[in-house]
A and B are shown apart, each in its own frame.
Chain A
Amino acid sequence: MSDTAPDITLSARNLTRRFGSRQVIHGISLELRRGEVLGLLGHNGAGKSTTLQMLTGCLLPDAGAIDICGIDLLRRPAAAKARIGYLPEIPPLYRELNVDDYLLFAARLRGMAPAAAAAALAQARQRCGLETVGKKTIGTLSKGYQQRIGIAQAIIHQPDVIVLDEPTVGLDPAQIREIRTLIRELGDAHSVILSTHLLGEVESMCDRVEIMREGRLIYGDTIAALANHGGEAGKLEDNYIRITESCA
């Protein structure tokens, strides 16, 4: 599906979202290009997860539009969702299933034929380093492996857009390095949007960054531009804090 898809794989325009009387997302617009890794950066509670839930169709925006490869997510959800792979903050794993059965189920759920799903399973296992645990029950595996299975289910159907919500949370340093390498590889063939509050993660994986604060996008540019923000080359961390505090 990647060959015929347009260059802009995800386009969100003026998304707003309210929970009860509290407005949590205020007119967010963003675009994602093919082969790009976009980091959605922000403090806890900035609205990153809510934004990603809307981009994947799990949560409907109150207003705004979302196109996935030119397909309107709100009008044609099935066609648009077939092009999305989503890893929520907590991987959606059926702990009683073994890894192969779960990944095959995830592939079939995204509309893959049984034969294609079997081939995709082998590729996803190889990419995510799951070759040795295919027959193991998910509930018995470590947090690191469960996170990899979560990523594998998001990429098994070769989606155009991969959405990862805090993909390295709770992992040890070695696992974080592996997952970062994997995401960087995924970014070469797919479009990846990931949320994080870790600057190091953005620096090592992302081509571009969007900073969120209190439900608004307050900054969007390349990593190099963020490092040189305000004409002062310095630590990303300093510039990030400067940007978020200037918008407070």
Chain B
Amino acid sequence: MMRLLAMRELRSLFSMPSTWFVVALLQFILAWFFLALLEAFLGVQPQLAQLANPPGVTVTVAVPLFNTAALLLMMLTPMFTMRLIAEERRNQTLALLLSAPLAGWQIVLGKFFGLLAFLALLTCGVPLMLYTLASGTALDHGLLFANTVGLLLLTASYIALGLYVSALTAQPAIAAIGALAALAGLWLADIAATAADSPWHAISPLHHFQSFNTGLLDSGDAAFFVLFSAAFLLLAVRRLHNNCIYG
């Protein structure tokens, strides 16, 4: 059932012209950043070569590119999560799901994995672009792997939060603004907190992405993403159940 709902989400996303526009725009921006970073690397490469232990192309190009992708996803994900439940409620199609032999968690997870698959497809261009460099130079596969895993976990946490906000309202626009405000708020609170042990760092998904961004597969950060996503998915399931209680 979850797979069925996930496939429907995917089909629905790909049937909308706006999706293709966003896909094209994101690829263009990421490609632009990639080429700009690569050009900058080629410009400083002679100086880097004189260092004893110079940073490679993966550190110079991939790390900032993944960081940029993480920031873009923070702004982009609410545009997709806004539809998930708010639009079902607005279009009165939620009755189809609620009257079907489905549990609330199946509805929520189906939508979650459908969008996660879509955004994974959307962002797979980042590692693919970087792997085009493999024909001319040696890449740090470990760093690329850590960043790819981190970006996937970060995306999952964004979707979970956006899905919960979408479950709170019948207006997709409000769901998008709410999710964007929450994600941007967490990010701004993180960068505004100067103390190293500030609790704002602990609750910011982007802060936990930094260890992956530097090539470190930190189980603590991975656990944060899993718990963050699970908490908001559970809240979304609860909100969906409340729909049957409060109408």
Instruction: Tell me, in angstroms, the Cα distance from A221 to B98 when the chains sit together.
Output: 31
In the complex formed, the residue of A with least CB distance to B246 is: A19
Asked, given contacts A58-B244, A96-B16, whether A105 binds B101 with beta carbons under 8 Å apart, the answer is no
Residues on the A chain within 8 Å of B238, using CB: none
B194 to chain A, nearest CB (A): 47
Residues on the A chain within 8 Å of B97, using CB: 109
Residues on the B chain within 8 Å of A93, using CB: 91, 93
Is B98's CB under 8 angstroms from A58's CB? Answer: yes
Flag the segment in A76-84, A140-148, A227-235 that touches B: A76-84
Is A59's CB under 8 angstroms from B101's CB? Answer: no
Question: Which of B1-41 touch A at CB < 8 Å?
Answer: 1, 4, 8, 11-12, 15-16
Interface string of B88-105 (1 = CB under 8 A from A): 000111111111111100
Interface string of A72-94 (1 = CB under 8 A from B): 00000111111010101010111
Is B99's CB under 8 angstroms from A58's CB? Answer: yes
Question: Which of A50-109 touch B at CB < 8 Å?
Answer: 50, 53, 56-60, 77-82, 84, 86, 88, 90, 92-97, 101, 105-106, 108-109
In the complex formed, the residue of B with least CB distance to A57 is: B99
In this assembly, does A45 line the interface, its C-beta being within 8 Å of a C-beta of chain B? Answer: no
A158 to chain B, nearest CB (A): 14
Is B96's CB under 8 angstroms from A92's CB? Answer: yes
B86 to chain A, nearest CB (A): 15
Instruction: Tell me, in angstroms, the Cα distance from A106 to B100 when the chains sit together.
Output: 9
Asked, given contacts A58-B244, A92-B92, whether A109 binds B16 with beta carbons under 8 Å apart, the answer is no
Is A90's CB under 8 angstroms from B92's CB? Answer: yes
Residues on the B chain within 8 Å of A216, using CB: none
A68 to chain B, nearest CB (A): 11
How many of B's residues come within 8 Å of A, CB to CB? 24
B8 to chain A, nearest CB (A): 6
In this assembly, does A195 line the interface, its C-beta being within 8 Å of a C-beta of chain B? Answer: no
In this assembly, does A34 line the interface, its C-beta being within 8 Å of a C-beta of chain B? Answer: no
In this assembly, does B52 line the interface, its C-beta being within 8 Å of a C-beta of chain A? Answer: no
In this assembly, does A110 line the interface, its C-beta being within 8 Å of a C-beta of chain B? Answer: yes
How many of A's residues come within 8 Å of B, CB to CB? 32
In this assembly, does A6 line the interface, its C-beta being within 8 Å of a C-beta of chain B? Answer: no
In this assembly, does B247 line the interface, its C-beta being within 8 Å of a C-beta of chain A? Answer: yes
Question: Which of B202-247 touch A at CB < 8 Å?
Answer: 244-247
Interface string of A108-136 (1 = CB under 8 A from B): 11110000000000000000000000000
Question: Which of B92-123 touch A at CB < 8 Å?
Answer: 92-103
B92 to chain A, nearest CB (A): 4
In the complex formed, the residue of A with least CB distance to B13 is: A96
In this assembly, does A9 line the interface, its C-beta being within 8 Å of a C-beta of chain B? Answer: no
Is A108's CB under 8 angstroms from B12's CB? Answer: no
Residues on the A chain within 8 Å of B245, using CB: 60
Is B102's CB under 8 angstroms from A109's CB? Answer: yes
In this assembly, does A16 line the interface, its C-beta being within 8 Å of a C-beta of chain B? Answer: no
Residues on the A chain within 8 Å of B98, using CB: 57-58
Residues on the A chain within 8 Å of B247, using CB: 19, 50, 53, 59
Instruction: Tell me, in angstroms, the Cα distance from A111 to B101 when the chains sit together.
Output: 8
Instruction: Tell me, in angstroms, the Cα distance from A81 to B8 when the chains sit together.
Output: 21
Instruction: Tell me, in angstroms, the Cα distance from A106 to B96 when the chains sit together.
Output: 8
Residues on the A chain within 8 Å of B244, using CB: 57-60
A-B residue pairs, 10 tightest by C-beta: A92-B96, A78-B101, A86-B99, A92-B93, A82-B101, A81-B101, A90-B92, A88-B95, A56-B99, A58-B98
| A–B complex contacts, Cβ < 8 Å, 22 sampled | A19-B247, A53-B95, A57-B99, A58-B95, A58-B99, A58-B244, A77-B101, A77-B103, A78-B103, A79-B101, A80-B101, A81-B100, A86-B95, A88-B95, A90-B92, A93-B93, A94-B8, A105-B8, A109-B97, A109-B102, A111-B1, A111-B101
Residues of A within 8 A of B (CB): 19, 50, 53, 56-60, 77-82, 84, 86, 88, 90, 92-97, 101, 105-106, 108-111, 153
Residues of B within 8 A of A (CB): 1, 4, 8, 11-12, 15-16, 91-103, 244-247
Given contacts A94-B8, A109-B96, 16 further A-B contacts (CB under 8 A): A53-B247, A59-B244, A60-B244, A78-B103, A81-B101, A82-B101, A86-B95, A92-B91, A92-B92, A92-B94, A94-B12, A101-B11, A109-B4, A109-B102, A110-B101, A111-B1
